[in-house]
Amino acid sequence: MAAPCAMDEVPPENLFIAPSIDVPRLLSGQSYSYHSPVPRALVDDKVTECVLGVDEAGRGPVLGPMVYALFYLPLPLHRSLLAETHHFDDSKVLTPQVRSNLVQKLCTASTDLHQSCGWAAKVMSPRDISAGMLKPAVLYNLNQQAMDATIELIKDVFARGVNVKEIYIDTIGPPQTYQAKLSRIFPTTTITVAKKADSLYPCVSAASVCAKVTRDAALEVCYRAYTAAPLTPEGSEAPATAEVEGWGSGYPSDARCSGWLKRNMDPVFGWGNVCRFSWNTAKDLLEAKSSAVNVEWPAQEDEDNTRMIDFLPASRRDQKKNAHKMATWFGVKVGEGLF
């Protein structure tokens, strides 16, 4: 779990842009999944039993995607490779630079990490999160979206022929219910759902690092897109302060984030694909008086319904035009006739 305590940190200058970053899809507001290639050792030997951890980053922020990541490796290497050799830990304990370096190693072909470990990430776009949460009839809340993303990721790993024996997950809601649900879907696997799994199990720590690095890079990519194409291109009032301050961590409690939201709100459309409109921070800003304009939605037209005006002499011009076919139906003009 990425907690708001991490919100004030500054991403490293040379943040590693992981292969889980798909710039066109990020900018267009689509959700997508990334899977690393299955390590050679596991492809060659399909019976190797693996351990898999799942964790998330970016649940609370109003800006940027929520990322679910999973990480798997052969069971015997679990503690020795992750905890002892590379010192993976809860992403909040590690500095951004350390996290970034770890993922870079993981994605470099010659390293021991790359040779034995696989990982995947599901990037859930702000647009899809908000659309689910704001759906009128049966709303699709964040927990359900998170569970579905997790299940989808794990299924994909099974589909790639990885023999997963143990799964560790940080809980969403009550651990027992979530564990029971997952056990029904993956009956052959030992599943452990626990609070603070990211500091207890090295594979969950590693997943949390992958998720966090993906999320940070995604936010950075989105931000660069914003500063490259400022909202007021020719304006002399281009938000110079915004460029200095940035939008921070994307958490609503971060003053840089709320300041950015206020300065960069379009009165009609609000913000772009980067913003979760279902967050109260965004809703409050849009609904506040005098900041955004009120949009009137025209009444939905029934395609196959005729109009009353087709039957009424609305104006003299119309009357002339339609007189031939309406003559039998037109009667007296309103006024005396009505009374």
- Which residue ranges make up the annotated binding site? 55-56, 170
CB of 295 to another protein, least distance (A): 15
Task: State CA 272 to chain mean position distance.
Answer: 13
Ramachandran bin of 294, using left for φ above 0, alpha for ψ from -120 to 50, beta for the remaining angles: beta
CB of 255 to another protein, least distance (A): 40
Q: Contact 99/49 with Cβ under 8 angstroms?
A: no
Number of residues that bind another protein (CB under 8 A): 27
Q: Which helix (H) or strand (E) holds 245?
A: helix 240-245
CB of 136 to another protein, least distance (A): 17
**Neighbour-count burial of 117, counting CB atoms closer than 10 A to its CB (0-12 exposed, 13-18 middle, 19+ buried):** buried
Sign of CA dihedral 267, 272, 278, 280: negative
Sign of CA dihedral 135, 141, 142, 148: negative
Q: Which is nearer to another protein, 13 or 304 (CB)?
A: 304
155 three-state secondary structure = helix
| Binding string, residues 283-312; x marks residues near another protein by CB under 8 A | ---------------xxxxx-xxxxxxxxx
Please report, in range form, the residues annotated as the binding site for a divalent metal cation. Answer: 55-56, 170
Q: Which helix (H) or strand (E) holds 170?
A: strand 164-170
Q: Is 329 in the site for another protein (CB under 8 A)?
A: yes
Q: Is 339 in the site for another protein (CB under 8 A)?
A: yes
Q: Which is nearer to another protein, 110 or 306 (CB)?
A: 306
Q: Given the rule CB under 8 A, which of 167-175, 267-275, 286-294, 324-332 is the region that contacts another protein? A: 324-332
CB of 135 to another protein, least distance (A): 20
Q: Name the residues that contact another protein, by CB under 8 A.
A: 298-302, 304-315, 329-335, 337-339
